[in-house]
Amino acid sequence: MATVSIFPYEVVSDKSDEGGKIVFKFTNLTVQEMKPVLEGVSKASGKDYHIPPRVIFEEDPNKEEWQWQVYDESFSPPFRDLPESEFPSPGDVLNFQLAATPKRNGEGHYLSVSKYDRASEIIKPKSDIADLDKPKVAAPSTNSGYDQSRPAKGMSFNNLGSMLTSGKIKEQYGEEVEKEAMKTWLYGFVASASGGVPFENFNDTEGFNTWSLVELFQRLRGEIPQAEDGWEEQGQ
């Protein structure tokens, strides 16, 4: 397969000599950061500008921003910005086909997401831990060695934040569980901010239906659960 000097290097089509696109092969890539739409008025020209959402990948050594729009025939041209509600989370691994189009002035390329797909199944949370199904393990990708559980962990982190914001945890389970949940969310936030994955070491769910919620959050943080009043009785 042909290669170029631009990340992610391996290409399926290169028409840059004709002023066309370089289209890269599908590759599993880890989302490091999503940047929302930028709109405003240029101070230099006085004209309106619109910059689509952009994604930065952990694997990209130059940390370039790749514009992300999706095909939609109802638009002209037939592309629209990826909605923020569909933004992946930091740490998510998706299967991307990227494209690079030479700029008219010959200085660099316009970088964009051409196509994408989920690299693994996302596990949707339920309201009560006792009702959770045992997570299914996604088949390993043939494109790379990235951990395919990362998207699910990122989604779980975001869902925990949403549950805390809504006040449902405190309402249903009380302040003690809410404090444990908040502490766990902060652990996940620090992991994401430092380039890691929330709940990275949480992989064993055997016996989860016997855990208390406090124990669950301690396990998510990677701590060894300490016995508390009522825990052992719950499991008996």
Q: Are residues 97 and 189 in the same domain?
A: no
Overall average pLDDT of the 69-79 stretch: 86
Of the residues 83, 118, 153, the one at which a domain ends: 118
Q: 33-57 as b/e, with b when 16 or more CB fall inside 10 Å?
A: ebbeeeeeeeeeeeeeeeebbbbbb
Nearest to 183 by CA among 205, 200, 199: 199
Phi, psi of 22 (to 5 degrees): -100, 120
Q: What is the pLDDT of residues 37-53, one digit of tens each?
A: 999 998 888 999 999 99
Q: Are residues 144 and 88 in the same domain?
A: no
Res 112: pLDDT: 96
Residue 3 resides in a domain: no
Number of domains in the chain: 2
DSSP label of 10: B
Please state whether the predicted TM-score (pTM) of the whole model is above 0.85: no
Of the residues 62, 86, 118, the one at which a domain ends: 118
Of the residues 80, 97, 118, the one at which a domain ends: 118
Residue 112 resides in a domain: yes
Residue 124 resides in a domain: no
pLDDT of 137 higher than 50: no
C-alpha 68/C-alpha 115 separation (Å) is: 9
pLDDT of 84 higher than 60: yes
Q: Are residues 113 and 134 in the same domain?
A: no
Overall average pLDDT of the 212-222 stretch: 83
pLDDT of 126 higher than 60: no
CA angle 212, 123, 95 (to 5 degrees): 145
Q: Where are the alpha helices (DSSP H) in the chain?
A: 150-166, 168-173, 175-193, 213-220, 231-235
Tell me how far the alpha carbon of residue 129 is from its chain's centroid: 23
Provide the residue range defining the domain that includes 221: 129-235
Amino acid identity of residue 207, one-letter, is G
